[in-house]
Amino acid sequence: MFPLRLCKDGREGSLCQEKAHKILDPPTGYDLFAELLRPRHLLSDSDGKTLVFRQSGASDGSMDIGIVRLEGDGELEMLFETSFDEHTPKLSPDDRWLAYVSNESGRDEIFVTRFPPSGKWQISTEGGTEPMWSRDGRELFYRNGN
């Protein structure tokens, strides 16, 4: 087992061996665990029960966003599995919204979806990267394409 700091209150959690294998052995053979060790690619919801991650190395080479629920069966669930790159997921402080970067428009732009995903809205119009929510979750900041 590898300890991961999951909770905002500083408690430590860990992925059990069975859940780790589901993450470590995806169909593509890509070593997702190496990605999970990079903090910018792994985040948890406010109660520490769901991990959100970016997975690269899909068969078409794109990056996608997925989750692992640490309670229950711990199944890996891909939220976005497209031929486009989806990356840099950021949950709002209340865990109701997920901001992310996608290149589906032909360049990196900021999108927002409800969490769990339901619908999506493009936020940026001239390129965007590095989304970041304000502390109260009422504003979303990002770098524009310029």
Q: What is the DSSP string of 32-51?
A: HHHHHTSGGGEEE-TTS-EE
Residue that has been written with the tokens 């629920």 in this structure: 69
pLDDT tens for residues 106-137?
999 999 999 888 889 999 999 999 999 999 99
5-9, 67-71, 140-144: the lowest-pLDDT one = 5-9
Question: Among the residues of the chain, which ranges form H helices?
Answer: 17-24, 32-36
What's the predicted TM-score (pTM) here?
0.73
Q: Residue 63: its pLDDT value, please?
A: 85
11-15, 48-52, 102-106: the lowest-pLDDT one = 11-15
Which domains, ranges and CATH numbers included, belong to the chain? 3-144 (2.120.10.30)
Band of residue 55 on the pLDDT scale cut at 50, 70, 90: confident
The more confidently predicted of residues 64 and 36 is: 64
